[in-house]
Amino acid sequence: MDLEEAFQVVGEFGPYQKRTVAVLLLTQVYMACQSMLIVLVGSTPQFRIEQQEGAPLSQQELPQQVTFTEDIDSIVTEWFLIKQQAYKVSLAGSLFFAGLLVGNVIFGPLSDKIGRRPVYLIGLFFEVVFGYVTAFAPSYEVFALSRLLVGLMNGGIGLVCFVLTQEYVGKSYWAMTGTLTSMTFAVGIALFGALGYVIRPWRSLATAANSSGVLIFLLSVSLPESPRWLYSQGQTWRAEEVLRHMALRNGNAANKLMLRPVGVTKAGNHDDRGMGVLQLVIHPVLRLRTMVLMFVWYACSLVYYGLTLGAGAMSGNRYVNMAMYGLVELPAYPLCIYFINKHWAGRRKSMASFLWLGSALMFLSDLKLIKIGSRIAVRFQLVVFMPQHQR
């Protein structure tokens, strides 16, 4: 039998898969806290400079001349990242996302080569380690370097985590489990806003946000390797072993489960997969589609994170703003699952429709007609059909 037939025997989304996917979803909550950390720990309070007109203050003179008029504890107040040093807050955020980019590039192929589980566990372990370095950083330079390394791990495990939620279950549940990963990321954003409201000192907040990763790592140790990856690597017997274990934990009998050797179709012919991922570049149609989807992903991510990371700069309570940016996404995800699974809508038509609607709302926002409402609506549209939901 092939893999899909095996999952019919094992159970496409039985109790065991629900538990494994739940652990991966908790990882998304932890990752959201790390992604949004700079929004709260980098808050810039109101301040006044007790200096007469003249030459600009040096960094050494700032502690004596600057008074912060808001009761906020952040990296800005600790290291006086104001005036000429203010760029360092944005730099730390940019370093995180630079690491995120590199992590995606490195960890994806690495997980194809050595396996999903080891890459996921190693990445999660080091993200927790570097997260504590962030919390206890003795200087801005150490803080900034730790954010780069946390971003590196975050990008890698985020990609592998999403893939595992797909590869543990039958294909009829792909839309649901893939969407749930982004849904729990949004929940994580909202929870981080609430956590920041309760825990104000930035070091305590960074420690609390990072400590959940320890528990998640301990839960993740019991996760199996992806049976789909094992099968694709020709390790048929190991894939059968994992599938039998899943079946046993699901309460199904799978003693006679035998997978067809890799590369052989039902008719007994060999499956020629050609150049693999290189076809995305070589084949003209695939190349065009890949470029379009890459641009769509770039545009959606730019607006999505631009709105989220700007939560602290908006008027009103920064903690409520952050929580609302997470909560406003939640109604979008059931729509995502619904439209993806409908033959009359599907991925292409739905993505195009929501992108047009999102663009229109952004123009309204720029015209300041319904600025706050349109920002919320744009975010709602973006999360429905960002490319990660279309795998």
CA-CA distance, 344 to 357, in Å (whole number)?
19
pLDDT for 64 beyond 80 = no
pLDDT for residue 372: 52
CB-based contacts of 136: which residues, under 8 Å, 6+ apart?
Answer: 203, 207
Burial level of 253, CB count in 10 A (0-12/13-18/19+)?
exposed
Q: Quick one: pLDDT at residue 312? A: 65
The confidence score (pLDDT) of residue 55 equals 58
Average pLDDT over residues 217-245: 94
Name the amino acid, one letter, at 238: R
Find all residues with CB under 8 Å of 239, minimum gap 6, and list them: 3, 227, 228, 230, 231, 259
pTM of the predicted structure, to 2 decimals: 0.84
Q: Which CATH architecture has domain 1-48+65-268?
A: Up-down Bundle (1.20)
What does pLDDT average to over the chain?
85
Contact 1, 257 (CB under 8 A): yes
Name the residue ranges covered by the structural domains of the chain: 1-48+65-268, 276-391
The span from the CA of 321 to the CA of 339, in Å, is 29
Helix orientation angle between 174-198 and 15-41, rounded to the nearest 10 degrees: 40
128-142, 260-274, 310-324 — most confident range: 128-142
pLDDT > 90 fraction of the chain, expressed in percent and rounded: 49
Query: How many CA atoms within 13 Å lie on the side-chain side of 329?
Result: 27
Please name the residue ranges forming H helices in the chain: 3-10, 15-41, 62-65, 75-79, 87-114, 116-135, 140-167, 174-198, 202-220, 227-232, 236-250, 279-282, 284-309, 318-327, 332-340, 346-366, 371-384
* Coil/strand/helix, residue 45: coil
pLDDT 10s digits, 150-208? 999 999 999 999 999 999 999 989 989 988 999 999 999 999 999 999 999 999 999 99
